[in-house]
Amino acid sequence: GAVVSQHPSWVICKSGTSVKIECRSLDFQATTMFWYRQFPKQSLMLMATSNEGSKATYEQGVEKDKFLINHASLTLSTLTVTSAHPEDSSFYICSARVGQLNTEAFFGQGTRLTVV
Amino acid sequence: LAKTTQPISMDSYEGQEVNITCSHNNIATNDYITWYQQFPSQGPRFIIQGYKTKVTNEVASLFIPADRKSSTLSLPRVSLSDTAVYYCLVGRDSGGYQKVTFGTGTKLQVIP
């Protein structure tokens, strides 16, 4: 299947700093990528939909100024957590779809963010 | 997006067949049903997708009744490595793409 790679796999940062997470589709072009957040023992929560060349669409309750998403190419989307705080500590996962209609989504391996 | 309801957890012994049922009463005509598997600290992995009747691949089968208001994921002869959370998703196209929104999932524990 198609491969989606996230980097880094884990990161620890100090409170108040910003962290960038990359999501790459390695063997296909992804016009749309999705960003999720998952707290321990909870389900994945969709944060935003990232479209190549345009502004991301954020889900209700997700602060767009705090979670900056850039989808500059068909193979790369980035999520920047700005001014991170301990409550932002979570597992962040991206996914991308091949094609458009009702096809499976491929997920990255996730990024564990710990803010201290 | 159609809401899904699954059992929160299930236990099964190794070698048994496991059936996980998902309810999706407000599924729309153009919705597909997709199941994903997630291990701890990993991204979800696609298992199977279907629209109606029965779909089978090398790892699972998916049974969908005629009214499509529910679906059952069947895992044959589970092993310890099948211990994971299984998510049932029902999606709807919007602007040419389908947002994949996860429900609570079913935590399957396979017992030796």
Q: What is the pLDDT of residue A27?
A: 86
Q: Angle at Cα A32 formed by Cα B72 and Cα B103, nearest 5°? A: 30
**CA B30, chain centre distance (Å):** 18
A40-59 residues touching B, CB cutoff 8 A: 43-46, 49
Q: What is the pLDDT of residue A1?
A: 66
Question: Is B42 near chain A, with CB under 8 Å?
Answer: yes
pLDDT in tens, A44-63: 999 998 888 888 999 999 99
If you measure CA to CA, which chain A residue comes closest to B90? A102
Q: What is the DSSP letter of A59?
A: P
Do residue B100 and residue A46 have CB atoms under 8 angstroms apart?
A: yes
- Beta carbons within 10 angstroms of residue B15's beta carbon: 11
Residues of chain B with pLDDT under 70: 1-2, 92-100
Question: Is B52 near chain A, with CB under 8 Å?
Answer: no
Q: Please indicate whether residue A31 or residue A94 has the higher confidence score (pLDDT).
A: A94
Contact call for residues A112 and A20 (beta carbons, < 8 A): no
pLDDT in tens, A86-113: 999 999 999 987 665 556 678 999 999 9
Choose the closest CB to A109 out of B32, B34, B42. Answer: B42
Q: What is the pLDDT of residue B102?
A: 81
Mean pLDDT, chain A, integer: 90
Please state which of the ranges A4-8, A69-73, B91-95 shows the lowest mean pLDDT: B91-95
